[in-house]
Amino acid sequence: MMRGVMEVLSVRARALVVVLTCVALGACSSGASSETRDSAPPSTSERPRGTNGADVGTSQPAGRTYSAPRSIASDCSTDVTAALSKWISSVPDNSTLTLGRGACYRVDGSITISNRRTLLFDGNGSTLEAKTRGTRKRVHVGIDNSENIIVRNLTVKGPNPNAGASAKAYQPKLEAQHAFNLGGVRHVLLEAVKAQDVYGDFVYISSSGRGPRRGQPSQHVAVVGSHFSRSGRQGIAITNAEDVTIRGNDVSGVARSMFDLEPNTARDAVRGVRIEQNTTGAAVNFWIASKGAGNQIGDVVVRDNNMRAATGGLVFVFGGPGGARGPFTFDGNRLRVTGAVTDEGAVGAFFFAHTNTIDIRNNQVDLPHRRGMPTVELRSCDHVVVDSNRVKNASRLVMADQATSDVHASG
């Protein structure tokens, strides 16, 4: 969604409009599948943390556990979008839904969880696989305007034959085919999930696209302990949300930017984001990209992440005049960049424009040889600390324009 023209890629990204499609799920009903199990998970009033310590206020359902009917083909032999969607809508709120152990469900449409409360969706090691190219409107798993939803142990496999960190992966007409699309949700946990070979993002977190909460941001979301490989666009994108934790994931093979924090409109905001303890592989564009509309982006903490492969650009935060983005904290990360991608004429590895309260400490940064790349570049920024970083091949520590003030740099 970078609106500037990438000097290397020359690709103009466009604002994303996500529409959840296929079978729209109605309100929960009392009639569930006859093929259910009566064993209920233990009831608890506590709100447990995920395995990686994320606490976004989710709680286990106290009701029954329902297993996917055996009448739904579980060998990917035929499209079961409609049948699977009908079963999900038949299960009442405050329940656990379990798919077949290690099963493969062919889903050429969209699975949508809309207007639901307190569900645990246990994939049980199963895969939802799309085998057709589909349209832009397809979302593999969409959760919209729902609260207290947990998705675990589920794999989404898309049909993109060129997915990964290459120019061929990105197909603008199909870029909204996200593996997990979260719209206007509250208290949602994605834990131990997988996604691969999609045309869109692995995870897209934004506002609700329907109903009375249309335009309302997502709140209290965590993506933890998961594995994502080969996207067709971004890795994990956040366009309108607050209190988001991305922790302990493995993310690689990203066609554009690894972590994308970009509001679609000036009314949207991205705040309270923690990107921590992740391991990342290659991405064509930036490791963290934050362009987009407006300046309502801040309280972003990026800590203890490890890049096992370089990205084209490293950190790009581009606010506009009339305000400032921030705060941003980068602490204890192991980072590397090729310098193959830039935007807005930036030359620094960490680039910030119209951003206040920046703290960059204790990072290990590998810059390309003989590129003359500064570690940090600042335009119209204020309150900046750069300290105790180990940087290879930097031409200088900080490059700042005259509109930048209160910069403290050492080490």
8 Å CB contact between 333 and 361? no
Angle at 314 between CA 310 and CA 316, to 5 degrees: 160
Longest dimension (CA), the chain: 71
In sequence order, which residues have a C-beta less than 8 Å from that of residue 295 and are 6 or more positions away?
319, 320, 322, 323, 324, 325, 354
What does the alpha-carbon distance between residue 120 and residue 81 come to, in Å, rounded to a whole number?
A: 19
323 three-state secondary structure: coil
Q: Which class for 10: exposed (0-12), middle (13-18), buried (19 or more C-beta within 10 A)? A: exposed
Is the bond preceding residue 374 a cis peptide, omega within 30 degrees?
Answer: no
Q: What is the reported pLDDT for 370?
A: 84
What does the alpha-carbon distance between residue 141 and residue 107 come to, in Å, rounded to a whole number?
A: 10
In the chain the domains, ranked by start, together with CATH numbers, are 65-309 (2.160.20.10)
What does the alpha-carbon distance between residue 130 and residue 122 come to, in Å, rounded to a whole number?
A: 19
Which 3-state string (H, E, C) describes 112-148? EEECCEEEEEEEEEEEEECCCCCCCCCCCEEEECCEE
What does the alpha-carbon distance between residue 312 and residue 263 come to, in Å, rounded to a whole number?
A: 22
H-run or E-run covering 405? strand 405-410
In sequence order, which residues have a C-beta less than 8 Å from that of residue 324 and are 6 or more positions away?
295, 354, 355, 356, 380, 381, 382
8 Å CB contact between 20 and 116? no
Of 193, 191, 201, the closest CA to residue 224 belongs to 191
8 Å CB contact between 105 and 74? yes
Of 140, 271, 142, 266, the closest CA to residue 210 belongs to 142
pTM: 0.87
Query: In the numeric block, which tokens belong to residue 344?
Result: 């807005």
Of 155, 134, 263, 275, the closest CA to residue 200 belongs to 134
Which 3-state string (H, E, C) describes 87-111? HHHHCCCCEEEECCCCCEEECCCCE
Of 307, 308, 325, the closest CA to residue 316 belongs to 325
Q: Residue-wise pLDDT tens for the chain (411 aa)? A: 443 433 333 333 333 333 333 333 333 333 333 333 333 333 323 334 444 556 789 999 999 999 999 999 999 999 999 999 999 999 999 999 999 999 999 999 999 999 999 999 999 999 999 999 999 999 999 999 999 999 999 999 999 999 999 999 999 999 999 999 999 999 999 999 999 999 999 999 999 876 666 789 999 999 999 999 999 999 999 999 999 999 999 999 999 999 999 999 999 999 999 999 999 999 999 999 999 999 999 999 999 999 999 999 999 999 988 899 999 999 999 999 999 999 999 999 999 999 999 999 999 999 999 888 999 999 999 999 999 999 999 999 999 999 999 999 997
118 alpha carbon, distance to own chain's centre = 22
Q: What is the reported pLDDT for 321?
A: 87
